[in-house]
């Protein structure tokens, strides 16, 4: 299979290559695309060196699948060109997510809606992906009425510049700032730009994307997204109100059987999900499960996942795996 990775030198692009290798995706020809300044640079994949090429050269080679992680502007320009050439594009940017003509896919939740005619497929926001993987099996059983989510998101979600800022601050070094404020020894209650309703773009992504992926506009969702000085994964405190009542035992049993979910919930031994343990893994970890004692039929839970893997690269590759197995 001829595979292109567009944005191959970024954090997510590099992770896509790592996950392709780990999951033994059937790559017969690899095309690596990045910005003009990176053309000619070499990247290792399965012990072999590959040169970065231009998007035009990759397009001429008509790959079977193109994994995009080059930002919205590049996706809006290039994805239709690749799709027109017969390539299936799986795009990690926000460019196509809320386009009514494009599918927004988390394989554990809604892969069944995909068809061979879907040539541009949107990969959701990282914080949305991990939440819906945990929520969907519960929605099927108890029907969700409302979700209140607060996120605690890794600097890796911003990119290399943010990781460098955090490391510089820890070493008392100066350098470029990814954020307006210091991130080490701090939390920043803003991810992406503010919108007219005083929510950030990231917060509204979680609202709109969750409804689209789960196929239910009736779910009420409100979000607060926060950047914290960690690497390894995003964490979320999620409060969920259901239409039907539940027992905690049933909730745990449902999550234990859910695809892509690992239950880590043993408070007697202080076992719960943390970014420290999610880094490098493809699963969504759930713990701190307890009934909300202030309101009927309502649950509190804690959800953690590696945002570069399940929140981006792995989810995209799982989409490709689903399509080509089908």
Residues annotated as part of the active site: 126, 234
Q: At 287, phi and psi to the nearest 5? A: -160, -165
Please give the Cα distance from 67 to 212 (Å, whole number): 21
Question: CA nearest 89: which of 75, 77, 71?
Answer: 75
According to DSSP, the residues that pair with 162 across neighbouring strands are none
Please give the Cα distance from 183 to 224 (Å, whole number): 17
Q: Which letter does DSSP use for residue 80 in this model?
A: H
Tokens of 271: 């076992």
In the sheet that 284-291 helps form, which strands lie side by side, from edge to edge? 220-227, 144-153, 234-242, 298-305, 284-291, 261-263
Question: CA nearest 40: which of 27, 19, 57?
Answer: 57
Residue 172 three-state SS: coil
Tokens of 144: 């969700």
């Amino acid at each position: 299979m001829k595979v292109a990775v567009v944005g191959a030198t970024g954090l997510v692009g590099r992770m896509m290559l790592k996950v392709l290798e780990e999951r033994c995706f059937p790559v017969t020809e690899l095309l690596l695309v990045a910005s003009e300044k990176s053309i000619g640079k070499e990247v290792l994949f399965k012990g072999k060196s590959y040169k970065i090429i231009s998007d035009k050269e990759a397009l001429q080679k008509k790959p079977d699948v193109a994994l995009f992680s080059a930002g919205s502007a590049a996706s809006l320009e290039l994805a239709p060109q690749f799709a027109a050439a017969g390539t299936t594009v799986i795009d990690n940017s926000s460019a196509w997510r809320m386009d009514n003509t494009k599918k927004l896919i988390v394989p554990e939740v809604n892969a069944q809606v995909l068809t061979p005619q879907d040539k541009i497929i949107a990969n959701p926001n990282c914080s949305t992906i991990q939440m819906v993987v945990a929520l969907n099996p519960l929605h099927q059983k108890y029907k969700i009425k409302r979700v209140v989510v607060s996120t605690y998101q890794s600097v890796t979600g911003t990119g290399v510049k943010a990781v460098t800022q955090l490391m510089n601050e820890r070493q008392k070094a100066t350098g470029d700032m990814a954020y307006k404020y210091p991130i080490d020894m701090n939390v920043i209650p803003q991810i992406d730009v503010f919108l007219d309703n005083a929510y950030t773009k990231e917060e509204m992504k979680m609202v709109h994307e969750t409804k689209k992926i789960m196929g239910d506009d009736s779910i009420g969702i409100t979000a607060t997204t926060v950047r914290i000085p960690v690497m390894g994964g995003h964490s979320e405190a999620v409060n969920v109100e259901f239409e039907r009542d539940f027992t905690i035992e049933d909730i745990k049993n449902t999550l234990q059987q859910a695809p892509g979910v690992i239950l880590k919930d043993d408070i007697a031994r202080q076992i719960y999900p943390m970014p420290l343990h999610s880094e490098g893994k493809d699963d969504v970890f759930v713990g701190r499960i307890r009934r909300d004692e202030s309101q009927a039929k309502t649950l509190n839970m804690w959800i953690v996942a590696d945002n570069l893997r399940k929140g981006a690269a792995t989810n995209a590759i799982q989409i490709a795996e689903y399509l080509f197995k089908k």
